Structure 1
């Protein structure tokens, strides 16, 4: 695999969540190496509600300077979480994620929302300037560690994602 800067952004209201673990697993499966940066968005706390916080700005900068980013959220009320939305609102429309290849990832309890990463998360990432050359990935939160879906996704899409990110 070619060298790319890889980040994981987990927008779960619980710190050190299964969402963060699953996103790290997907990033590792896709690239063959651990992510360079990990943003557990909930750690930014109330600073996400304003503008100009140095910790939020540093997190935004590290994501914007990445080549490939796995954006992950649990499924809440049939969509991604508000805490992830607060983080994404920090990026400039059309330019904030320019040159970033994004992997939309969502976890849920059942298959009812399997299209949510592609139909709900992918469009907002594109609106911020990211490229999403592969469909989003939906994992069951009860089986993602053992079902092999992250590895199957990486087998099918990893090469294209890394190729797109290394341009």
Structure 2
């Protein structure tokens, strides 16, 4: 099973990235195989055909399990993540991929953002999102126990589906 992390924080090496790696590692029981820190792709995101962006898209699309993470900006996911996700074909770009939406924010006011905003775009791209999105207050971004309840409840379902993923 190939496990990947995608983070859409404009800051390279962000707390969002750290939290996404922790969640992916906790779900899979090991470190992710691939990490796409979207901010490192730079201006190549703004056009089509950039080789580094194409490699990142292919890597994510060929993964079985992907944690897709963003900070909460203006009550939604980041624009840089949206620009990256726009590189995937609608309906099939993430076919066969089990995706787990994760968002970080300063407080509880946007706790539903992953479920209401990030999940629909992942489903639109063809991903299977079996578990609800998860929200983490950024003050707990480096606390592995912050994901205990989520992992205990959802890891079995997420892993079962990711292990049996069929590519379109």
Provide TM-score, normalisation by structure 1.
0.96
Deviations 1:85-122 (A, max 9, x none): 00000000000000000000000000000000011000
The separation in 2 between residues aligned to 1:123 and 1:147, in whole angstroms, is: 26
Alignment partner of 1:96 out of 93, 97, 102: 93
Query: In the alignment, is the contact (CA less than 8 A) between 1:20 and 1:72 conserved in 2?
Result: yes
Give the conservation status (yes or no) of the 8 Å contact 1:10–1:39: yes
Aligned to 2:61: 64
Q: Runs of 5+ in structure 1 lacking a partner? A: none
1:162 to 144, 150, 159: 159
* Counterpart contact for 1:100–1:131, Cα < 8 Å: yes
Aligned partners of 1:9 and 1:69 also within 8 Å: yes
Report the Cα distance in structure 1 between the residues aligned to 2:94 and 2:144, rounded to whole angstroms.
31
Q: Give the CA RMSD over aligned residues.
A: 0.8
Corresponding residue number in structure 2 for 1:38 = 35
Instruction: Provide the residue aligned with 1:148 in structure 2.
Output: 145
Residue 136 of structure 2 is aligned to residue 139 of structure 1: yes
Tell me the CA shift for residue 147 of structure 1: 6.9
Equivalent residues, number: 164
Q: What's the counterpart of residue 7 of structure 1?
A: 4
| TM-score of the pair, normalised by structure 2 | 0.96
In the TM superposition, residue 143 of structure 1 has moved relative to its aligned partner by 1.5
Gaps of 5+ in 2: none
Q: CA deviation at 1:150?
A: 1.4
What's the counterpart of residue 72 of structure 2? 75
Give me the whole-angstrom Cα distance separating, in 2, the residues matched to 1:61 and 1:147: 29
Provide the rounded CA distance (Å) in 2 between the counterparts of 1:121 and 1:15: 20
SS of 2:139's equivalent in the other structure is: coil
